[in-house]
Amino acid sequence: QQSSRASSSTQGGQTSVRFLFVVNEANMLENARNVDQYGNEMPPLRYDGFDIEDVGTVFQYHNGVVTVAEGWYWIRNGPGQIGRITRDQYATDQDGNTTTTYAVAPQYSTRTVYHCGPFLPCVYAPCDASANIGAFDRWHALHFHHEHGVSRALANGGNRYIAGKHADWMEKHPIISQLYKNPYPGIPRSAGLGGDFAIIIGLMALSQPRGTIDRAFQQRLWHMGTWTGAHPDSACIADPIHHLSDLD
């Protein structure tokens, strides 16, 4: 789950953006594995198809810089429950007794991102698919809206391929597979990737080997709007099974 608390302000004519996020690596129950007729791994159809997640570190994004959000952590009370980013707060009363309360970060967006393997597109759900929140809309295939060479990852983006050619985030440091390569000749060079932040953060996490998804954000692989993390033989391309990141 990648839960975020977003805020923005204007300073000197420029907008300042700050939010918290966490990416948890979810696991599927063996008896709930969903495989299509051709043997491709698909995401669980219900929330109770998920096992206990591997909890990630809470990070802070502030104007292009990602750092560990000291004191903040992810908590979920049990399987199927809604999770949240929180931190402990301590207070001392007049008798010297210390009490603990919890500050919860308001939720900004939630996404569940799943890489279906080398032959099918990445899909996502606009919610925490491992939480029992009733029937969610459905899984959506990753699409892109094209805007002057920029590929914007959005719901119903309209295109199943990226805008432009020679995108570093597909070829040099891939967070998506060659399935999304623009098929048309004579197109200009890619001008970047944008759109739904939560989806993009999930794709970055999925580019790392299983069990090390925090690495994408701990080592400044994503810094000042530039991604330098994955390599052509990285995890989400070569070994997609169970690479599920829940973005809350």
* Three-point CA angle 168, 169, 174, nearest 5°: 110
Is the pTM higher than 0.95? The answer reads no
pLDDT exceeds cutoff 70 at 38: yes
What is the arithmetic mean of pLDDT over 52-74? 95
For residue 5, what pLDDT band results from cuts at 50, 70 and 90? Answer: low
CA angle 228, 55, 152 (to 5 degrees): 40
> Taken in order 205, 206, 212, 215, is the CA torsion positive or negative?
negative
Confidence at residue 245, expressed as pLDDT on a 0 to 100 scale: 42
Q: Measuring CA to CA, how many Å separate 128 from each of 72, 80, 149, 188?
A: 20, 10, 31, 37
Q: Give the model's pLDDT for residue 117.
A: 80
Residue 206 has pLDDT above 50, yes or no: yes
Q: How far apart are CA 171 and CA 243, in angstroms?
A: 20
Q: Please check the confidence at residue 241 and state whether its pLDDT lies above 60.
A: no
What is the domain partition of the chain in residue ranges? 6-136+209-247
pLDDT at 185 exceeding the cut of 50: yes
The mean pLDDT value of the chain amounts to 85
pLDDT digits (tens, 9 = 90+) for 139-165: 899 999 999 999 999 877 789 999 999
What is the pLDDT, as a whole number, of residue 3?
Answer: 52
Lowest mean pLDDT among 18-22, 119-123, 154-158: 154-158
Between 248 and 231, the higher pLDDT residue = 231
Which pLDDT belongs to residue 246? 45
Percent over 70 (pLDDT), the chain: 86
Beta pairing class for 50-54 and 14-28: antiparallel
Q: Is the pLDDT score of 242 beyond 50?
A: no
